[in-house]
Structure 1
Amino acid sequence: MSKIHVYMMPGLAASTSIFERIILPEADFEVHLLKWEIPFDHESLKNYAERIANNIKHPNPVLIGVSFGGILVQEMARFVDAKKVIIISSVKSNLEFPRRFKLAKTTKAYKFIPMSLILNIENLAKFSFGATINKRLKLYEKFLAVRDIRYLKWAVEQIILWDRTVIDENVIHIHGDTDDVFPIKYINKCIVVKGGTHIMILSKYKWLNENLPSIILAAEKK
């Protein structure tokens, strides 16, 4: 049997090193790590997704995205004949956003976020990974790779204004029950990881390593 090609997209501003603890059996899978690129001026999320999708070089891949990366891989699926789309610590539509996201959209408050302050590593860590990161800030500093103001402004706006309202029922959603960025009370139809936070790609890597292979292979059979 030929290997299944798995493409992984990190979360907002994060580097591919967030996947360093994720190990899939080499006999069955070949993992490819996707990186954030600086958006063009006025680039739509759809156009950006198409541009990142051009980095996929294998047919029928599995796409895995974390947080904002989960939103992106769902958009990339428009341009890639993906075998399966798996999102972790993310959302399947804007109906799963917490109230503060919806309020930010209504009031346009996101436009007034001081990005220069977010570029401070502590603030960026909170913004990207949630409040619980503070205790282990030094550990996570290496996981934050993109500190470009234009990217951050673009990314925040694309998240808040994401217009998907119809959930793709084929998307496999893995979510922690203590996620403080996308609280599970707003999430429908997901595989729940007990004790999983928004950064469970790091803290629950053992669970993911044990379960991702069977989740992918089960998807393969569908």
Structure 2
Amino acid sequence: MFSNFRTSVFALLIGLTFPGNQATAQNVSSDSSKMNVYFISGLGADKRVFAKLKLDDHFSVHHIEWIKPEKKETIKHYAGRLIAQMDTTKPFQLVGLSFGGVVASEMSDIIHPEQIILISSTPTGIPVSKGYQGLIKFLLLSPFAAPILKSTNKIVYRYFGANTPELKSLLKDILHDTDSKFLKWALKRMSSWDRKTKPENIYHIHGTNDQLIPIKLVNPDIKIEGAGHLMVYAQADQISEILNRQLKR
């Protein structure tokens, strides 16, 4: 049962892991001559998954830090609170990875980025039946839910596309740093996320071998052949080239 539970939940997880520390609002300082680009991670406590990207010096890169959710908070409301970490008084762009892409899509209703780039994500809700939503909520009440979700095995590695020792080590560290309460909250919200329309000015990059968000469920602008959910790290050179080209537009 636990194996089936873990597999089912990770199919909804779409790379969703979070830190335990709460970030505070911060003033964004950057070179005024450069375009601000805000990266929103979906995998882990910090910018580790973006570590291998090589971006041109034309951009001023900032990494949004996750904060603790309020009780019964929606994804949209949560996304609105993250905006305090951004300077929206000048043009900027968003890059959202996995769950970060979901958050970026919700941000677009509040602020107006020049462009949103999604990586291994989805701009709209993936249909989940009411019965399955109820099952997820019930199972997440189990005291065993968090330890199971935060553990690593062949199933977890396969869903995330962690097929090398380096990727397995990265994923293991990421899951270890996950805040259990945040994870449960986010899973509940994602199972009922029903956004119907794509944001304007969106560009979507997706791997053809993504097991967490199968490519048949999305309609990306560019497909990375054979790439899995962790392609931003595993195929960093290719993703960097696409990002540099697209961000300049």
The answer to whether TM tops 0.5 is yes
Which whole-Å CA distance do the structure 2 matches of 1:104 and 1:67 have between them? 23
Shift of 1:154: 1.0
Q: Deviations over 1:23-45 (max 9, x none)?
A: 2111x101001122111111111
Mapping for residues 1-222 of structure 1, pairs under 5 Å: 2-26=33-57, 28-58=58-88, 59-94=90-125, 97=126, 102-103=128-129, 106-111=132-137, 112-113=139-140, 114-118=144-148, 120-122=150-152, 126=156, 130-133=159-162, 136=165, 137-144=168-175, 146-218=177-249
Shift of 1:14: 4.6
Kept in 2: contact 1:23–1:209 (CA 8 A)? yes
Q: Deviations over 1:140-197 (max 9, x none)?
A: 3334475222201111112111120122352111000110011111212421111211
Aligned to 1:117, the other structure's residue is in SS state helix
The amino acid of 2:136's aligned partner reads Y
The amino acid of 2:135's aligned partner reads A
Which whole-Å CA distance do the structure 2 matches of 1:205 and 1:104 have between them? 38
Which whole-Å CA distance do the structure 2 matches of 1:193 and 1:92 have between them? 18
Long gaps (5+) in structure 2: 1-31
Flag the 1:118–1:6 CA change in 2: closer, same or farther, 3 A.
farther
Question: TM-score normalised to the size of structure 2?
Answer: 0.76
Shift of 1:55: 0.6
Which whole-Å CA distance do the structure 2 matches of 1:145 and 1:8 have between them? 22
- CA RMSD of superposed structures (Å): 2.4
Shift of 1:61: 1.2
Kept in 1: contact 2:204–2:221 (CA 8 A)? yes
Kept in 1: contact 2:69–2:78 (CA 8 A)? yes
The amino acid of 1:42's aligned partner reads K
Q: Deviations over 1:46-99 (max 9, x none)?
A: 1100111111025221101111111001111222221111111011212xx3xx
Flag the 1:105–1:164 CA change in 2: closer, same or farther, 3 A.
farther
Which whole-Å CA distance do the structure 2 matches of 1:201 and 1:38 have between them? 25
The amino acid of 2:68's aligned partner reads I
Which whole-Å CA distance do the structure 2 matches of 1:74 and 1:194 have between them? 25
Which whole-Å CA distance do the structure 1 matches of 2:149 and 2:46 have between them? 15
Which whole-Å CA distance do the structure 2 matches of 1:146 and 1:157 have between them? 20
Flag the 1:80–1:195 CA change in 2: closer, same or farther, 3 A.
same
Shift of 1:215: 0.8
Kept in 2: contact 1:9–1:73 (CA 8 A)? yes
Kept in 2: contact 1:53–1:79 (CA 8 A)? no
Kept in 2: contact 1:89–1:198 (CA 8 A)? yes
